[in-house]
Amino acid sequence: MAVTGCTRTPAAKPPLAIARTSPALDESAPPLLLNDAITIYFSEPILPVSVTSDSVTLVDEAGQQVPGSLRVSSNWITFEPVSPLAPSLDDGSYRPGASYRLLVAGAPRPDAIRALDGRRLATPAAFPVRIARLDERPAGLPAILRPSANELPFMLPPLAGGQLPASEPRLHLQFTQPVLPSSVVPEAFQVMLIATPPIELLPRHVRVLSNRLDTQGCTVEIDLGALPARANGDPSQPLKPGEVVSVALGRGRHSVVDYSGAPPLPTPAQLWGVVAGNSITLLEWPSGDNQLHGDGELTPGFETSGGQLRPRVRVEAGDGSLGILRPLRDLVLRPGQPFDRGDGEIVVSQRGRFAFLAIDIPKGVTVRVEPGATPVQLLAAGSVRILGDLVFDVAAAPVPPRQLQQPLAELAAAVPAAIIAAGDVELGGRILATAGPVEGTTSLLLASASSIELRGALPFQTLLAVEARGEAGTAAIRGARGQSIVFDPAFTYGLAAGADFALRALTPWRPLPPDRDGGVVSLLDQDRDLQVAWQQAPADAVRKNAPDLSIGRVGRLETVRHGDPIAFPAGSFVRFAFTARARAGQPLPRLRELRLTDR
C-alpha cells in the first residue's frame, strides 16, 4: 500500500497596515491646532530604520514638504511640528487655516514603511490635515495653540550673576513653559539700570527665540541696543562694565502668558552684571554646529543641551572607578575576579557591575565575559569602541515590553547583559552571545546617551537604547541594525555615587574672516572649575575651506579666560578645548556661551 503525505503551508502573515491616527484624520475631523502632533499607529511593530522624511511626509497644497521632526517607537510614528515664534503665528510648521496632506509610503515603493521582518506597508496612504483658523481657537484659550501637558509651573526662575555684554546688551530669559508669542511685547518687561535713582531702560526689540520645551524651557530675547533708550528722556548712552541691570515681569494686561493664557508665577527680578563686550562677533558657540569630540579619546566629555555646555554624564553609566579597559591580548572578565585592564593595573568589579571610564577593545583582541548566574553590566562613563570581539557567555531572557521613556535602569535589570555608555558607542567588530537565537528573547542591551554606530555584528534581537535624537527625531543610530529592537530610554542626568574623573572635549574647527588677525574671548556664565583653551591652524593650501592639520602646522593649546585677547594669522581656523573635573556631590561645571569678537 502506498502512503502519501502532505506538508502544511504556513499561513501567510497579514500585510502591514495602518490601524489608526491620533487625532483622527478625515474630511469631517476637527482642525488641528498649530502645535498639535500627529501619530500614526500600525497593525504591528515597524522597522525604525524605514522611517525617514521621505517615507512619512507632510506636504502643503503646492506639494512642498512641511518642516517638522519624526519620532518612532514600537508600532507608531509621530510627526511633531515646529511651534510658531512670531506674534502672527504664521512662522511655524503649520499656517493658520491651511490644508495639508500627510503621506505615508507603502508598496511598491522601495522606501516604504516596513514591519520588523521586512514586509512593506501594503498600500500607500494619504490623510487630509486641516489647521484651525485664528478665529477657531478652543474656548478658554487665547490662541490656536494647545497648552503643554507637563506639570512644570510656568515661571521665570530667579537669576543672579547673569552677564550682559556692554556693546551687545541682549538678555535671554529662560521660561519653564512655552510663551504665547503675541504676549511678548516691550511693555511686558521692566528693565532697570540699578543706580541712584534707578533708571528704566526701554527695550529696542523683544522676541521669542525658542518655544521648544527642553532643559532650558522657552527662550525670550530682550534687545536693548548698543545705546539703550532711557524712559526719563535722558540721552541714550552705552552701558558700562560693572553696572547692574534688573529685569522684572509686568503684571496685569502687560504680562507674558503661556499657551493657556495664564501669567507666570511671581518671582524676584533677575540681576545681570554688565561686562565688557565688542561689536563684531567673529565666532559664537553653541551655534548651528554644536558637535563636540574628544580628539580620538574615549574618556568622558561634554555635550550641549538647552543652548549651553554641560558635562556628558549619566548616573546609569557608572562612576568610572575601573579606569579605561584597553586590553592588549585576549581577556576573560568574571564578576569579583581580578583582571588586568590592559595597562598593568589590576582591578576588580563590584559583583556584576564593571564600571569603566571607557571601553576600547582593539582589532584582533577577544574579551569574554563569564558572569555565571549573575547579570553583568559593562559601564562606560565615557565612550565605547569595539573593533575586536566581545563575547557574552549568558543565557537569553524574554524581550521586555516597550514603552515611552522607559527608565534605563529597569531595562538593564531585565536583560542578562548590558553595555551602557554616557558617550558614543562604536561597533566595528563583533559582539557575540553564546545563547542561541530564539524568537522573543534577548541576551544584550546596548545603550548610549549619545549615539550608536553599527558596522559590525550584534547578537540576535539586541536591545538598542539611545537618548539622543537624530535630524528626523529618531534615535541617533547609524548603520545596519539587523534584527535589533530599538527602545526609547530615560537616562538620569548626573553622576553616579563616588564618581570623580576628568572631562575633556573639543569644538570643531571654525574658519575666521580673512580680514581679521585677532579677537577677544567672551565666556558667559563660565563656572570657575571649567577651563577653556584655544588653538589655531592655517587654511589648507589646496582645500581652502579646511584647516591644515599636518605636523608642525597646528598651534599648541593655550589657556584663555574671559576678556583675554588672542592673535592669529588672517584667514586662520580656530577651535576651543574644554576641561573640568566632575565630582559626585558637587555642582557640575557649565558654560552658557563662548564668543570671539573683533576687539
- Summarize pLDDT for 190-228 with one digit per residue, the tens: 999 999 899 999 998 898 877 765 444 688 889 888 789
Helix (H) or strand (E) run with residue 413 in it: helix 408-413
More confident residue, 226 or 356: 356
- pLDDT, tens digit (0-9, with 9 covering 90-100), for 299-336: 999 988 767 889 999 999 999 999 999 999 999 999 99
The pLDDT value given to residue 497: 92
Higher per-residue pLDDT: 35 or 67: 35
CB 403 within 8 A of CB 314: no
The DSSP bridge pattern shows strands 397-398 and 485-487 to be unpaired
Percent of the chain with pLDDT over 70: 93
Confidence of residue 52 (pLDDT cuts 50, 70, 90): confident
For residue 243, what pLDDT is reported? 92
Residue 580 neighbours by CB under 8 Å, 6+ apart: 311, 502, 503, 527, 529, 530, 531, 589
pLDDT at 344: 93
3-class SS of residue 77: strand
pLDDT band at 397 (very low <50, low <70, confident <90, very high): very high
What is the mean predicted confidence (pLDDT) over 478-501? 92
Is residue 40 pLDDT above 90, yes or no?
Answer: yes
- In degrees rounded to 5, what are phi and psi of residue 136? -105, 25
* 59 touches 100 (CB < 8 A): yes
Q: What is the DSSP string of 289-344?
A: ----B-TT--S--EEEETTEEEE--BGGG---TT-EE--SS-EEE-TT--EE-SSS
Write down the pLDDT at residue 102.
95
Q: Is 248 strand, coil or helix?
A: strand
Please write the tens of the pLDDT for every residue from 71-108.
898 899 999 998 898 888 988 889 999 999 999 999 99
The mean of the pLDDT values for the chain is 88
Q: What pLDDT is recorded for position 354?
A: 97
Here the cell at position 19 is 490601524
For the segment 257-274, the average pLDDT, to the nearest whole number, is: 92
Query: Among 474, 481, 490, 480, which Cα is nearest to 76's?
Result: 474
pLDDT attached to residue 131:
96
Measure Cα distances from 115 to 51, 70, 224, 428 in Å: 11, 17, 54, 26
**What is the pLDDT at residue 216?**
46
As beta bridge partners, residue 247 has: 191, 270
Higher pLDDT, 437 or 443: 443
Q: Say what the pLDDT of residue 215 is.
A: 40
Rounded CA-CA distance 238/510 in Å is 31
Ordered by where they begin, the domains of the chain are 18-136 (2.60.40.1220), 160-277 (2.60.40.1220), 315-490 (no CATH), 500-597 (no CATH)
Tell me how far apart the alpha carbons of residues 167 and 226 are, in angstroms, rounded to a whole number: 5
Confidence at 425, pLDDT banded by 50, 70, 90: very high
Q: Check pLDDT > 90 for residue 459.
A: yes
Asked if residue 400 has a cis previous peptide bond (ω within 30° of 0), the answer is no
Closest CA to 565 of 528, 518, 515, 511: 518
Specify which residues 126 forms β-bridges with. Answer: 103
Euclidean distance between CA atoms 310 and 292, whole angstroms: 11
> Rounded to an integer, what is the distance from CA 422 to the centroid of its chain?
13
Q: Which residues lie closer than 8 Å to 340 by C-beta, 6 or more apart?
A: 327, 331, 346
What is the pLDDT, as a whole number, of residue 435? 84
User: Which of 4-8, 239-243, 380-384, 433-437 is modeled with the greatest confidence?
Assistant: 380-384
pLDDT at residue 275 above 80? yes
One-letter amino acid for residue 207 of the chain: R
For residues 454-475, average pLDDT: 85
Residue-wise pLDDT tens digits, 505-543: 998 898 887 766 778 888 888 888 899 999 988 888 788
